[in-house]
Structure 1
Amino acid sequence: MHQAALLGGMIHDASHYGWKVAQPPHDWRKMAEAVQNHVKSLNWGHRVQLQDRKVKYFNFKASFVNPHMVCGVSKGGEETLLSADHIVIATGGRPRYPTHIEGALEYGITSDDIFWLKESPGKTLVVGASYVALECAGFLTGLGLDTTVMIRSVPLRAFDQQMASLVTEHMAVHGTRILRGCTPLRVERLSDGRLQVTWVDLASDKKDTGTFDTVLWAVGKP
């Protein structure tokens, strides 16, 4: 997706170097299919490497039975008990939904979902200030989509703030709308299928609304 956005930017900039190229439409389905095929090939490659090294792989959801045993449950509901002297937990994390916000879970998506959308997300609101939020907003803007980022406090809090400011300034210059000091209150589905988001400006306590096709939560992992 990042490469697709970069190519779109190069086509846009080509006119400055004498190329007379009309900005072509972007085919989201074609790009999404390529991303999905790439991810599937990576997953297959990892499984082959595990097999070559004689590492057993189980696609289970597991829970502890005791300190030396876990119970794994397959997609079909079949249970398997696995025991070991030592059990290492290295599960990573999934993006979380801000469930305290009305409609967040029902109508929003996360960065995990966007790569598997069959249709273009259209006009998108990205909520969050992390690098995940900004990179998602950046490549969506690069694909020519109307994109807004809503930031509660400061962007890229754990990073150098001078560089963080340069990043957001660059994004704004290239078309990403940035709402600072705002937090969403609720998300509602309108009769036409679009999403109406109500938010509050934390400095003035003023409420405002906007309509989007997609709301993407990038508020961190648990």
Structure 2
Amino acid sequence: MNFDYDLFVIGGGSGGVRAARVAAGEAGAKVALAEESRYGGTCVIRGCVPKKLMVFASEYAGVADEAGRYGWDVTRGVFDWAAFSKRLNGELDRLEGVYRRLLDGSGVKMFDSRATLRDAHTVALDNGDVVTAKHILVATGGHPVRPDLPNANLGIVSDDIFHLAALPKSILIIGGGYIACEFACILQGLGVDVTVYYRGAQILRGFDDEARGLIADAMCERGIKLHTGTNILDMCPADQAAEAGQGAGPDVLRAAGQSTHQTKASTGSNQGPVWVKSTTGHETVFDQVLFATGRKANTAGLGLEDLGVKLGRGGQIEVDSYSQTAVPSIYAIGDVTDRVNLTPVAIREGMAFVETVFKGNPTPVDHDLIPSAVFTQPEMGTVGLSEEAAREREEIEVYSTSFRPMQSAFIDKPDRVLMKLIVSKATRKVLGCHIVAPGAGEMIQMAGIAIKMGATKEDFDRTVAVHPTMSEELVTMRKPVRTA
């Protein structure tokens, strides 16, 4: 059978674009790609890139105070959200253009259209075109979801943060994962009064307990009101609550307008203040509510199940170690498969797909020992097993130190950092490394190389320290603090 294309990719995010252009540019395949929104996907347009730029912006909040303690005469100004947003949008436009040029330069045919599947080799586009392909790669990513709660539409999700006309004076963030914690730190740094409700006992579930505990403490020290064991019970517009007799008594807290920092744009959302009742009985009015309660794969309406593609309970596409679905001609990579939802992982999955399908080199995806970072303040970098996960698997030694780094200690700031190694008693291999510190994301990349190579504790010990640095502690810890 003759096909219009060797490969049709649905989704123009980092994984889909990499697979498309490598298949076309290096393997000589005839490739097309459809994207219904903006090229770059979640990472470039609605996630990693704009979020990290917001992290940078928020970190300047403390510069004037720190500089003053170091002897500089610096006066703190106010944050101009409108000016930042304009520059941010310009950068995202530039990056989207880069993605388009990369595809065009590789000879990939681009369709700015939504694509659905008619059969195992046929794609229908909402512009009316119908095309065929020998192989189809689904890389449609995921999207944030709101909880099943009355009036949940009054709150925003992470995608909306980047499009706010103005910063709210106060915000309630629902959730305790890395997205919730990152935006809590970002918004607090930009001058917003931040409250976090998380139903669990501690934020950042799944990460090392010692590391997430330190981050929780740091968030509270920065003025974030962190309420664990707490969830949202009810919400409605504040004026509606007042009319009903809710939110009018002396026990009701008014979070809106209590920001400790001034901003040039502090008019809140277009929908107006929101009255919230928590599961602990507190009633509070916030200018904005952000739901960071999870994400879901973008598979609805694609026609996958009708073709025999198996979906998981969360709608994610089930694939094997080569990213192949139950339908041999259809593959899937990235967040839509809900394996490890990180941009570099999606790119690696795309590369492995091309090696397997177009280069005759069957390549399973390696999801072991993936370094990652949480861009809270301070950051957390992690690779390998947490202490809790490791001790369930085998006998371990834990090397850990927490201290005030030189830069903070000199000006009497309470900020602490953590350096931690998890070591196998049997093999002496480093099973996990966890860093909580400014620049932890940069540090963990380097540590990840050594741990991926199978470095032992003695390999770390043989490495000469770089002094004076925070990270030198990774190679100077001689005695375990505990065994398990």
For normalisation by structure 2, the TM-score amounts to: 0.42
1:184 aligned to which of 229, 232, 253: 232
1:198 aligned to which of 274, 277, 289: 277
| SS of structure 1 residue aligned to 2:129 | strand
Question: Structure 1 counterpart of 2:84, which letter?
Answer: M
* Structure 2 CA distance for aligned equivalents of residues 71 and 9 of structure 1: 52
1:214 aligns with 2:288: yes
1:96 aligned to which of 145, 159, 162: 145
Identical-pair percentage = 33
1:147 aligned to which of 194, 201, 211: 194
Q: Would the aligned equivalents of 1:110 and 1:216 in 2 still touch at CA under 8 Å?
A: yes
* Structure 2 CA distance for aligned equivalents of residues 25 and 114 of structure 1: 19
Aligned residue in 2 for 1:159: 207
Cα deviation for residue 23 of structure 1 reads: 2.6
Aligned residue in 1 for 2:325: none
* Structure 2 CA distance for aligned equivalents of residues 190 and 58 of structure 1: 44
Question: Structure 2 counterpart of 1:175, which letter?
Answer: G
Q: Which runs of 5+ in 1 are unaligned?
A: 202-206
Question: What is the 5 A alignment of 1:78-97?
Answer: 78-97=127-146
1:112 aligns with 2:159: yes
| SS of structure 1 residue aligned to 2:277 | strand
Q: Deviations over 1:10-37 (max 9, x none)?
A: 1232222223433311111111111111
Question: Structure 1 counterpart of 2:276, which letter?
Answer: V
* Structure 2 CA distance for aligned equivalents of residues 208 and 82 of structure 1: 56
Question: Structure 1 counterpart of 2:151, which letter?
Answer: G
2:169 aligned to which of 102, 111, 122: 122
Question: Structure 1 counterpart of 2:92, which letter?
Answer: V
Q: Deviations over 1:78-136 (max 9, x none)?
A: 322222112111111111111x111112x111111101112113211111111111010
Question: Structure 2 counterpart of 1:33, which letter?
Answer: K
The verdict on how the C-alpha distance between 1:61 and 1:186 changes in structure 2, with shifts beyond 3 A counting, is farther
* Structure 2 CA distance for aligned equivalents of residues 83 and 19 of structure 1: 65
1:69 aligned to which of 122, 134, 144: 122
* Structure 2 CA distance for aligned equivalents of residues 112 and 12 of structure 1: 32
1:44 aligned to which of 71, 85, 97: 97
* Structure 2 CA distance for aligned equivalents of residues 117 and 150 of structure 1: 21
Runs of 4+ in 1 over 4 A off after TM superposition: none
* Structure 1 CA distance for aligned equivalents of residues 188 and 111 of structure 2: 39
Q: Deviations over 1:41-92 (max 9, x none)?
A: 111110010000011222222221112112122xxxx322222112111111
Cα deviation for residue 150 of structure 1 reads: 1.0
Give the total of aligned pairs: 211
Q: Would the aligned equivalents of 1:36 and 1:116 in 2 still touch at CA under 8 Å?
A: no
Question: What is the 5 A alignment of 1:4-83?
Answer: 4-73=57-126, 78-83=127-132
Larger of the two Rg values belongs to structure: 2
* Structure 2 CA distance for aligned equivalents of residues 32 and 86 of structure 1: 40
Question: Structure 1 counterpart of 2:136, which letter?
Answer: I
Q: Would the aligned equivalents of 1:102 and 1:185 in 2 still touch at CA under 8 Å?
A: no
Aligned residue in 2 for 1:204: none
* Structure 2 CA distance for aligned equivalents of residues 121 and 62 of structure 1: 37
Cα deviation for residue 148 of structure 1 reads: 0.9
Greater mean alpha carbon deviation, residues 185-194 or residues 44-53: 185-194
Q: CA RMSD in A?
A: 1.5
Q: Comparing both chains, which one has the higher relative contact order based on Cα–Cα distances under 8 Å and sequence gaps of 6 or more?
A: 1
